A and B are shown apart, each in its own frame.
Chain A
Amino acid sequence: MKKTYKIEVDCAVCAGKVQDAMSKVEGVNSVTVNFMTQKMIIDIDDEKFDEVLKKAIKAAKRVESDFEVYF
C-alpha cells in the first residue's frame, strides 16, 4: 500500500540521505522523500505496514536526527 505523509526535512542533501536509508529497510518496496513539497510517499505491503514504517522512520532518524513525520 502506498501512503503519503507530511514530513519535515531540512535540506535537499538530507532528503536524499533519508530516502537512501529508508529504502534499504527490509519491507519497504519504494520510498520517495521530496524536499521541495516536504512529503514522503512510501510503499509497504499491507500486512506489516505499521511495523515496517516504524523501522524505516528509525533508520531515517539515524542519518538525519531532524527528520520528522507527521501523522
Chain B
Amino acid sequence: MSKKLKKRLIRIIITASLYLPILIADKIINLSTVIPNTDLGWLLPLSIYVVIYLIIAYDILIKAGKNIIRGQVFDENFLMIVATFGAFVIMEFPEAVAVMLFYQVGEFFQDLAVGKSRQSIAELMDIRPDFANLIHENGEIEVTDPELVEVGQIIRVEPGEKIPLDGTIIRGSTSIDARALTGESLPVDVVEGSDVISGTINLSSSIDIEVKKAYQDSAVNKILELVENSTNVKSKQENFITKFAKWYTPIVVISAVLLILIGSLVTKDWMNWVSRGLNFLVVSCPCAIVISVPLSFFTSIGKAAKIGILIKGSMYLENFNRAKTFVFDKTGTLTKGNFAVSEVIPKYRREEILKYAAICEGQSNHPIAMSIKKEADYVANSDVILTNIPGEGVAAKDGKKVILCGNAKLLSRYGVKFEETNKVGTCVYVAINSEYLGVIIIKDEVKEEAYDAINYLSKEGIKTIMLSGDNEEVAKDVADKLKLSEYHASLLPQDKVLKLDEILSSKKENELVVYVGDGINDAPVLARSDIGVSMGGVGSDAAIEASDIVLINDNLNSLLLTKKIAKKTITIVYENIIFAIGVKVAILILSIFGLAPIWLAIFGDVGVALLCVFNAMRSGKIK
C-alpha cells in the first residue's frame, strides 16, 4: 500500500470511529434537543458533524476549490461538495457526512484495486535484465548495462542470472527457465550452439553467449514495449465510456437543477425537491464504469502476458472475441511441423518392420529417417553396409540379410512383389531378402491439442479454415481429422495472401477474420487479416511487428486460452456497463418520485463502483 493510500485509510478509520458513536447518540437522544429552551439547538449537532466532515473532506474541498476557479464545473470533487452542502442545508447532517465518508471509502478501494493490478504488471516487468557481464577481448569481465552491449560481443551468464540479450551459446551447456516469458514451467536444456533469448533465467551452469541482437531489438525489450503500450490501443467499449462520461455528468447535473427548480416552483416544498436533486448529484459520477472497463482490459492483458500471450491492445482482445472466422496455416500451426510415423502396415509386424527400417536409416539425418529411428528406438550395429540409392531409398547388408527400405521404385527395381498402399503421407516400404515385409506411413503430426482447440472454436460457432502449401491429400487428411470447416491446399506463399483476400472480401461488413500462423513466412498475411496471431514467434521480429497477438509458445492451448480470456473480459465489461448504468438510471427515476433515500444514492455511487471494480479484477482469471 502506498503512503497516499495509508494516509487515506487512517482518515477513514478516524472519521468512522468518530461518526458512528455520534450518529448512534444522535438517534437515541436527538442532539438538537440537548441544549434546552432554544430554537438554535440544531447548531450543536451541526458543529459536531461539520468537524467530522472537515476531517474526511478537506482534500476534496481544496481540489474542488482549485478546479472551480479554473471553470471545471462538472468536476466530481465539486459535485460531491455541492451534494454534501445541499444535505447540510436541508438539515440532513449525518447524511452529508456519510456521503463523503463512503465516497472516500470507495476511492480507497478503487485505488487499492488498481494498485494491485498495476503491481501484477510490474511483476511481469521483472523480466527486464539489469546488467550484462561483458567479456572483453583481453579476457576481462566488465559488468555493464545491457543497452551498451553490441552485436557480436561475448557475454557471460552465471547460474541464477537473467540472460540479458538474445544470442547463441558459444561455451557451456545449462538449463534455462523461460517461465517469465512463456508461462512454461519446465526448464529447457540448451547446449553450445543453441539460441537463447533474453529475459529467461540461466539455472544450472555458467555459459558464454555471443550477442545476436542489440538490446532494443531483443525479445525482452519487444515484449516489455508491447505490454506497456497495449492499453493505448483502445477498445470500442473504452471509447464508448469515454464519450458516455463526457455527457453523463453534465446531463445529470442539469437535470438535478431543473428538478429542484421546477419541483420547488410547482409544489413550494423546496426541501423535498432539493433532497431529490441531491440524489442526482451523488450518482452523477460515472466512476464505476470509467474505471472498471479499462481495468478489466488491463488486468486481462497483464495476466495473459504472464502466461506468454502478448496482446497488443484492448481493441485486439475485443475483436478477437468477436471474430467468427479463424484461418490457420497448416504446417507448424495445426501440425507440429516435424515428421513422425503415423502407421505401420501390417500392424502385427510393426516392431520388425521398424527395426529393419531403422537399420537402413542408421546414418541418415533426414527428418523422415529421424522419425523412423525415434519410433523404432533401436540402434543398429555399425558393421552394416549401407548403399544409398538416390531418390529411392537405402539397401542395407547386415550379415546375410539384405534389407530394402525406400519408395515403391526401389522395391520394383529389386523385383520385390508388393502392393502399393493408398494411404496418405510419405510411404516407406520395407523388404528383407526380396520378401516384402510392410510399409511405414510417415506424416507431419497434427498437434495433440489441436483437436480440443478446433472443437472448442467450432462449438462457439466459429468457421475454421486451413491454408496449406501441401498437396490435396495431405491437407484433406488433416482437415478431416480436425473437422475443419474448409481447407485450401497446394497454395504457394503468395497464394495464401490472395486466398485470405478472397476470404476477407467475401465476409459481411462487421465480421472479423483471425489469421493464425507461425509468423515465419506469413508476415504479409498476418498484417492483412483483421487480427493476426503468430505462434512461437519470439525470435522473429517480423512476426511480432506484423501480428496483433503474439503467442510465445507454439502450443494451440494458448490460442484457446486467449479466446477464453477475451470472452470473459468482454462479458465482464458488459456486465459492468449494464449493471452500473442500470442501477444509476433506476436510482435517478426513483429519486424523481422521491422514493430513493440518500443512502440508496450513496450505494449507487460507491457500492456500484466497488462491485464493478471487484468484478473487473476477475478478468483474465482462467482456471
For chain B, the bracket of interface size reads: 20 to 34
Q: How far is the CB of A51 from chain B (nearest CB, A)?
A: 23
Chain A residues lying within 8 Å of B228, measured Cβ to Cβ, are 37, 39
For chain A, the bracket of interface size reads: 10 to 19
Chain A residues lying within 8 Å of B298, measured Cβ to Cβ, are 36
Per-residue B-contact encoding for A1-36, CB less than 8 Å = 1, 0 else: 000000000011100100000000000000010111
Chain B residues lying within 8 Å of A32, measured Cβ to Cβ, are 232
Q: How far is the CB of A63 from chain B (nearest CB, A)?
A: 7
Contacting pair B66 A36 (CB below 8 A) = no
Contacting pair B232 A38 (CB below 8 A) = no
Cβ < 8 Å to B, chain A residues 44-66: 62-63, 65-66
Of B72, B118, B121, B291, the residue contacting A12 (CB under 8 A) is B291
A34 to B110, CA, bound (A): 17
Known contacts A32-B232, A34-B232, A41-B232; A13 and B287 CB within 8 A of each other: yes
| B76 on the A face (CB < 8 A) | yes
A66 to B60, CA, bound (A): 12
Contacting pair B121 A16 (CB below 8 A) = no
Q: How far is the CB of A57 from chain B (nearest CB, A)?
A: 15
Chain B residues lying within 8 Å of A38, measured Cβ to Cβ, are 118
Contacting pair A65 B63 (CB below 8 A) = yes
Chain B residues lying within 8 Å of A39, measured Cβ to Cβ, are 228
Contacting pair B70 A12 (CB below 8 A) = no
Number of A-B contacts (CB under 8 A): 42
Contacting pair A36 B245 (CB below 8 A) = no
Contacting pair A13 B245 (CB below 8 A) = yes
A31 to B242, CA, bound (A): 16
Q: How far is the CB of A31 from chain B (nearest CB, A)?
A: 11
A37 to B233, CA, bound (A): 13
| B290 on the A face (CB < 8 A) | yes
Of B117, B231, B242, B287, the residue contacting A11 (CB under 8 A) is B287
A13 to B245, CA, bound (A): 8
A11 to B290, CA, bound (A): 9
A44 to B96, CA, bound (A): 46
A55 to B66, CA, bound (A): 19
Cβ-closest chain A residue relative to B70: A62
Known contacts A11-B287, A16-B245, A65-B66; A36 and B294 CB within 8 A of each other: yes
| B114 on the A face (CB < 8 A) | yes
Given contacts A34-B232, A37-B121, A37-B228, 8 further A-B contacts (CB under 8 A): A13-B245, A36-B114, A37-B118, A37-B231, A41-B232, A63-B72, A65-B63, A65-B67
The 6 closest A-B pairs by CB, nearest first: A36-B298, A32-B232, A12-B290, A12-B291, A36-B231, A65-B66
A-B contact pairs, 30 of them (CB 8 A): A11-B110, A11-B287, A12-B290, A12-B291, A12-B294, A13-B76, A13-B245, A13-B287, A16-B242, A16-B290, A32-B232, A34-B231, A35-B294, A36-B114, A36-B231, A36-B295, A37-B118, A37-B121, A37-B228, A37-B231, A39-B228, A41-B229, A41-B232, A62-B70, A63-B70, A63-B72, A65-B63, A65-B66, A65-B67, A66-B63
